[in-house]
Amino acid sequence: MKKLFTIEDFAIALVAALGYGFCFEIPKVLGCPIWLCTVICLVVGVSLEMMEHKLVFSKAVQKTPARRYTALAVIVLVFLVALFLAVSWTDMDVLDYVVGQYGYIIILPLLIFAFRMGVRWYRVRKIRERYGDGSGGFVFDGQLTEKDFEEARQQNRPIRGEFDADLAAKTRTGVFVGRKDNGVLLFAGIPYAKPPVGELRWKAPEPLPASDEVFEAKYIGASAIQVDYDGSVLAQHRQSEDCLTLNIGVVGEKTKRKKPVLVIFHHGDFSYGGSADPLLWGDDFAKIYPDTIGVTFNFRLGLFGFIDFSEVPGGEAYPDALNLGLLDQIAALRWIKENIAAFGGDPERITVMGFEAGALSISLLAACEQAKGLFQKAVFFNGSPLMAYETPETSKNLAKKLLQETKARTMEDLLRLPEQRLKEAMQTLAMDSSAPTRDGKLVPEDVYAAYRDGVASGVEFLVGIPSNERNIYKSFVGNQKYADFMAKETSGILRYLDARYPAEVKAARAYIEEQAATSSTVEAQAKLFEQVYALSTYCGAKKLAEGGNNVHLFYWAAKPLIENLGSGTVDVMATFLGSQRAAQMYGNVLNPDIAETLQTLFRKFESGETMRLHHNEIKGIDAIDWKEFPDALIVSEKAFRCGPITEKLTEVKELLKLLDE
């Protein structure tokens, strides 16, 4: 994708070669010793080349083709004039210098490229040794160090004595003392609401009282109680009902200038995942986003976060249990908006970013009145409000099965159950877990209509769609649960289509039969699920644009390193956040050209700049003009290009009618 050599490189070499030549030969003619001639040649020659490089690759020159070609013409003219003078006045043969300079221009980048390819080859070989063909899904055995496990067991404690004020931040709910970690001041495990335990189990999150107490903030808090799927890295992490905590990373020193804030929502199908996932903590985050405050957080999952007790005796006292996870997210955003200034963040420049379940969450919060004003920009990948439930039936069914599994009869019985027993029940009922519901109370029943009516006014969006996501799901949930998982998801899709699009559902069923004839039923279901999800994500972007929002769309067409592991959520997350080590844990190696380009564009999005790269703004990358919806930025290993993507979204052309909803 990135060019090793540009026209500018060769043009710069023309004048630089003359500079080196003149700066050696002229002192020599003047009688200077060879060592001094060499020093003058290197000092002046290198300085000239750097100045020329800075000028030619500047934004002012590279911004338009006319300026670019004018600069190249001037360089060639300077070279010809200097060559004429050299031959006429000094009889100096500059050919050797020109050849030498071009040798340097060509050989050094080739050596660097070869070294990087060697490193990539080594990383790929190690990944293939560990994963083979990837049919076993994500595997983390042996990849986590003893330090990882040790930190997972640690818990923050109150501080009674002295503490390092340089590592502290005073908020409304307490003073938190963090730790320095690779140039980042990390505040980990900060509670943003009261622990939802005891009488607060299945209750809406309650704000913490004001406090002047001092607490450690060194260790990431416990993950939410969750299903331990085969491909979940957090099966090794401490889990607890007391999970409503967040983590804040501050790059560099605190300054008076408030920095933009990036709040990252974790993935996990609302039944697993958390802020301790290494994908969310990029190794190079500090270098990539030095002016950004990074925040991650946990929220309640599964039967602790999305369950309907309305038909359980005593359940009327728990009206919010249906969407507790969303209420937790809103509580976290409120805490951030109220307190982030203490960490150097700007509460009026908050960007939220989510993937898969995190993306679905953001798509719902964008239509939620309670979340109004809590963020100004949103990035979500592979998430659509259509994938939230229309009715609470699934959540009611989960409550019934929970009663059967635990032999409980009333809410009082459920409240008496120990955390571990509910954890076991959650594992057993993994395929019955529920997700957010468009209840008409917290979330509008018709989110698309709300988008179109301007409910998300004032928020700018960057929306991503994957081309190869289905194997990601299998890698996470594991082969044993994959068939049940896809059967459940596909059944929900067909029920939705049955009620609205009788002709289209007929085509969808025929597609499953056709695909199953050459592969398997589960893979056929997975292909349909992937396509409907892509279509519904696109439809969400369309409705936001119709509602007056600024929307930029991108389509992830990069191929997976290992086909059976897929390419989508994991790779995009690692790419945006600079998580090279985590990407390798999950079976891939980041493409540096894609990563640098998307990260640069995201910084522009975050800061409110035009979504455009001029030629060579990233050296070796052509100009990119990322137009607003409906065009999309199509991302692949070969190139970036902008254009329509509707024909890429589905093989079932009848389903394109969903876009007219």
Q: Is the pLDDT of residue 256 over 80?
A: no
- One domain for residues 331 and 448: yes
CATH of the domain at 446: 3.40.50.1820
- One domain for residues 322 and 352: yes
Q: What count of other Cβ atoms lies within 10 Å of the Cβ of residue 132? A: 12
Contact residues for 139 (Cβ-Cβ < 8 A; gap 6+): 130, 131, 231
pLDDT single digits (tens) 265-323: 999 899 999 999 988 987 788 889 999 999 999 999 999 999 999 999 999 999 999 99
Average pLDDT of the segment spanning 399-420: 96
State residue 7's pLDDT score.
86
State residue 620's pLDDT score.
86
- Tell me phi and psi for residue 197, to 5 degrees: -125, 165
Confidence of residue 92 (pLDDT cuts 50, 70, 90): low
State residue 480's pLDDT score.
78
Distance CA(620)–CA(144), nearest Å, equals 36
Distance CA(301)–CA(324), nearest Å, equals 9
More confident residue, 367 or 71: 367
State residue 65's pLDDT score.
86
Within-domain flag for 1: no
Q: Is the pTM of this model over 0.75?
A: yes
More confident residue, 442 or 494: 442
pLDDT single digits (tens) 481-508: 888 888 888 988 888 888 788 888 899 9
Distance CA(418)–CA(413), nearest Å, equals 10
Strand partners, 466: 556
Q: Pick from 127, 162, 183: which residue ends a domain? A: 127
Within-domain flag for 266: yes
Q: Is the pLDDT of residue 463 over 70?
A: yes
Closest to 307 measured CA to CA, from 450, 196, 454: 196
Rg (CA), the chain: 28
pLDDT single digits (tens) 142-200: 666 656 656 667 899 999 989 999 999 999 999 999 998 877 899 999 999 999 999 99
- One domain for residues 122 and 189: no
- One domain for residues 216 and 332: yes
- One domain for residues 164 and 286: yes
- One domain for residues 39 and 145: no
Confidence of residue 95 (pLDDT cuts 50, 70, 90): low
Taken in order 631, 632, 633, 637, the sign of the CA dihedral is negative
- One domain for residues 138 and 203: yes
Within-domain flag for 537: yes
Confidence of residue 231 (pLDDT cuts 50, 70, 90): confident
Average pLDDT of the segment spanning 82-89: 70
Locate 305 and state its tokens: 């976060």
- One domain for residues 485 and 386: yes
Q: Pick from 127, 142, 176: which residue ends a domain? A: 127
Mean of per-residue pLDDT scores for the chain: 90
Q: Domain span at residue 88?
A: 7-127
Average pLDDT of the segment spanning 375-387: 93
- One domain for residues 249 and 173: yes
- One domain for residues 37 and 142: no
Confidence of residue 420 (pLDDT cuts 50, 70, 90): very high
Distance CA(159)–CA(497), nearest Å, equals 57
Within-domain flag for 299: yes
Per DSSP bridges, beta strands 168-171 and 624-625 are unpaired
Confidence of residue 574 (pLDDT cuts 50, 70, 90): very high
Q: What percent of the chain has pLDDT over 90?
A: 56
Nearest-5° Cα angle at 295, 292 to 301: 155
- One domain for residues 48 and 185: no
Q: Is the pLDDT of residue 585 over 70?
A: yes
Average pLDDT of the segment spanning 231-243: 88
How many domains does one find in the chain?
2
- One domain for residues 66 and 142: no
Confidence of residue 2 (pLDDT cuts 50, 70, 90): confident
Within-domain flag for 2: no
Q: Is the pLDDT of residue 393 over 80?
A: yes
Within-domain flag for 279: yes
Q: Pick from 79, 109, 127: which residue ends a domain? A: 127
